[in-house]
Structure 1
């Protein structure tokens, strides 16, 4: 019987305290010899042994590729809730290299001597079963609700996390019927030692595991079969154990370097070649996704029709990695399938798959930070472009740069800094290039260098029909026009070309004001900003007073000057607006300013409640803004300065047409008070910026694009996407 798993070879090392460095050196040797796995005995009551979990941490730091595992963890002396966090931590620190071997407990006299109450054989199995559930639940960071245990682990409300770096398999050291049945029901692997087995025991054990797995609704092949061996077995014996008894991992129990070298050189290649040849002859493969994962597939998606090139990286709802891709920065999502193409050809295949599923929502994601939350959905398809992240300088003389959509703006700033270049790009380094560069791009250098789209000189666009075309002023100019401001409607941009601008050191400004007279502050900020030189671009976040404190205005942004005196001179008019309660002005670089993002997984919850509007000035809207802030109905209200170089571009030059706007305002909130006060403020708007708008009312499109612009967009849409495929991100059709 062959369950089809890829073959693994490992070492089973003694954690001897007599020579602490030896076991680490043997782990390093195992890695150098090409072993897949290094495992360690776990006998915490043994005074002549190192602590196994401390050892594994040290061994992980001393190696880089080999997988690690306790063989097997003595569960009674490693309480499950703590073990779950220890295992997740080691997996994270090692880059996803941990496998968790568990045992119900043996040598009870020694265990009891360590202060742990003795359990009967039945109680030990019950405790192990409960531990498996609890460990997995503590790892399930994306799940909601409190964690509760059972009789052996009576936890109540324990918090989940951290999540391990990969789906850590749980292997059980099992011999007796109850343990074998538990293995079939819940474990990912069976890990006995051949020296403990009698002839026929492997077949009996497999049968019990298979029957229990089938009764639990699992495919028997979901349970990997591993075997501790002496290393003296012949290659022929191991081939028979692999093909006849289903063993797919052989772990050599030896601390002899010469023996490990000999086995790696003489036995492993022969076994691999013989098993591979037989599997090629029979076409035998592993079962694939587990029954649990398959049960979580969403209706309406032909998962089995997914092209082979996309299967390796695709993420389904039942996959371990789903929690890291389901949501965006602000919005909780539950897509039915997340495709993660690695090149333009795979993006085209992903789009073709989406065309065959036009009945489902489709999200295109570059980094998932988008405030609107449109790059996830419920039950649909998401095409995640994160793997397309190259940044390439095309021409030093013209400062032309080619950037793929999955790159993040913080990465772009770092890549351009050695050249002394910059592309204005929002205010957060974690934003993906693709989303911002097709919508507009209001950032810290906007007043000086324009929107992000104003530095674009060309784009490669994958159209709805699967063709890739180049868009520029000379090639497909109508498409180039549309991509700059409404790109999400037209196609998937697989690469942008920008003309960067020179930049040196600049002033990074953070000021805090007592804004007791909020309306007066807003008017003053607006007038001062519009009167400032273009090298000044400042934003403001306004908040109501709390705990007896006055309302606060936090002003931050950039003065693109390298001279401290000039920076201070530029800021003097702002310092007069209201009492300063905090200030920080420092020389910095644009890359340092944009290094404000983390690598944390996006874990948005629910629906974002962002609203957006564009204003020519702040004068007439100041009272309405002050009223909204004073109500306490919005925890976030931001004013972004536009104007300056943005207005140098003709309104009909790009699909972003509101070139006369001096300010973009955005707020988050909910409830009737917020809605009423926002509607009052909206009477002053002249357009809105869709990137900061989470509502999906079709009427918003008419506010975002003036009539002539919208009419032209619809004509371009009819030409390039006549049967709208791109319809889930503020569609113009």
Structure 2
């Protein structure tokens, strides 16, 4: 028997994937969450997005929007509802090479973006994996491999093409829709569906890339020295640290990215990391940015990595925080702790300029657990760290709720986000946690 919806708009003919379609198994889920939607719409244009929104309203179907697939919250799929999949909209175009302005459709993955921009000597700081979708990142923040040199991805978004929940198509830029542009840069998921972005890229022909391993003492002094090095480092240097327990030892696997192809600049930036403790260098070389977010990352998302994740932003790596991080990574609940360096260009932006207000913290801490350990186990491991953090980043939270919203969008920023969500989505079609 052929599965069908009661009505199919003419604009969506051939674009609706139902459970009996052979494509359904590769489209139903995200990277972390297995979904069973009633239908997936492969949207090829803003008109198709508007038609899918109408269909969801008319049929009373729960709605999910997907630009990429990693989506840790699982909100990019659902059970029994409609998924609007933007993956057919993946074009990348250099609009003006002189001003480095590029147009990126929301369904593009960052591997595709990097590949398209590389021949022009341009790059955009993006997600740390090539399979991450442009739309989800560029509406929430964008703490990427070049964050201290470039800032957040949203900091360079100059315009957004949006389909509002009522189907209206709007260009949000400083001259025409400044409020919509503001909320789309940091809290876009509750205001409309971004279908394309105009983003200012940077000149970047190659990067320095190094991987190091440091032994971490029980008190976490190695982590404090890492933070001190980053605080004094040139902005070209951004790092990510993964803590791993190996028997009685804790190791920090450090990835260092230097936004330069000059060997002297790269060495000067990375060298101080060798002094944070007992450090060995696994590899160091100059490579293309597109190798860092490689096309090899482009894979189907089938719920293959179930996990629970939370995070917090940190102003200072105090002794108590450092000790708590080591304890969390070596405790009875196996917990993956990752640290991302901030500061530099990420903190240049006025906190009121976008819906991402966190412009004073030095570090993003991400904690994840994997089956058979559940959310409760993660919360227990995270609790000693949580009391020290200052804010949260929405893209690394697998169970967003009202408290998450308050930490991600504090004070007046949260008030304005809620006000604009109600303005652009009065019926709550895209309802997000914390909207009330």
* Match for residue 41 of structure 2 among 339, 357, 380: 339
Q: CA deviation at 1:584?
A: 0.8
Q: Does 1:639 align with 2:339?
A: yes
In 1, Cα distance between the equivalents of 2:381 and 2:297? 34
Deviates more, 1:382-391 or 1:623-632: 623-632
Matches within 5 A, 1:343-492: 343-358=45-60, 360-492=61-193
Distance change >3 Å, CA 330–CA 368, structure 1 → 2? same
* Residue in 1 that maps onto 2:10: 308
* Match for residue 577 of structure 1 among 246, 269, 276: 276
Q: CA deviation at 1:309?
A: 3.1
In 1, Cα distance between the equivalents of 2:160 and 2:367? 32
Q: In the alignment, is the contact (CA less than 8 A) between 1:373 and 1:608 conserved in 2? A: no
Q: CA deviation at 1:582?
A: 4.1
Gaps of 5+ in 1: 1-290, 298-302
Q: In the alignment, is the contact (CA less than 8 A) between 1:634 and 1:667 conserved in 2? A: no
In 2, Cα distance between the equivalents of 1:589 and 1:431? 18
Q: CA deviation at 1:674?
A: 3.5
Q: In the alignment, is the contact (CA less than 8 A) between 1:710 and 1:732 conserved in 2? A: no
Whose helix fraction is larger, Structure 1's or Structure 2's? 1
Q: In the alignment, is the contact (CA less than 8 A) between 1:344 and 1:494 conserved in 2? A: yes
The higher radius of gyration belongs to 1
What is the TM-score when the length of structure 2 is the normalising length? Answer: 0.95
Larger RCO: Structure 1 or Structure 2 (Cα < 8 Å, ≥ 6 residues apart)?
2
Q: Does 1:649 align with 2:353?
A: no
* Match for residue 393 of structure 2 among 689, 693, 699: 689
In 2, Cα distance between the equivalents of 1:435 and 1:424? 14
Q: In the alignment, is the contact (CA less than 8 A) between 2:111 and 2:298 conserved in 1? A: no
* Residue in 1 that maps onto 2:258: 559
* Residue in 1 that maps onto 2:288: 589
Q: CA deviation at 1:514?
A: 2.2
* Residue in 1 that maps onto 2:24: 322
In 1, Cα distance between the equivalents of 2:298 and 2:304? 18
Q: Does 1:713 align with 2:417?
A: yes
Deviation readout 1:88-139 (Å, 9 max, x if unpaired)? xxxxxxxxxxxxxxxxxxxxxxxxxxxxxxxxxxxxxxxxxxxxxxxxxxxx
In 2, Cα distance between the equivalents of 1:628 and 1:595? 31
Whose strand fraction is larger, Structure 1's or Structure 2's? 2
Gaps of 5+ in 2: none
What is the number of equivalent residue pairs in this alignment? 431
Deviation readout 1:630-689 (Å, 9 max, x if unpaired)? 105234211111111111111110000111121111111245554223112111111111
In 1, Cα distance between the equivalents of 2:135 and 2:332? 34
Deviation readout 1:463-512 (Å, 9 max, x if unpaired)? 01111111111111010000000000100111100111111222011111
* Match for residue 535 of structure 1 among 233, 236, 250: 236
Deviation readout 1:518-577 (Å, 9 max, x if unpaired)? 61122111111122111100110111114x6x3221100311222223312221211111
What is the TM-score when the length of structure 1 is the normalising length? Answer: 0.57
Q: In the alignment, is the contact (CA less than 8 A) between 2:316 and 2:361 conserved in 1? A: yes
* Residue in 2 that maps onto 1:149: none
In 2, Cα distance between the equivalents of 1:387 and 1:650? 35
In 2, Cα distance between the equivalents of 1:482 and 1:557? 32
* Residue in 2 that maps onto 1:94: none
In 1, Cα distance between the equivalents of 2:22 and 2:294? 29
Q: In the alignment, is the contact (CA less than 8 A) between 1:389 and 1:405 conserved in 2? A: yes
Q: CA deviation at 1:362?
A: 1.3
Q: CA deviation at 1:434?
A: 0.4
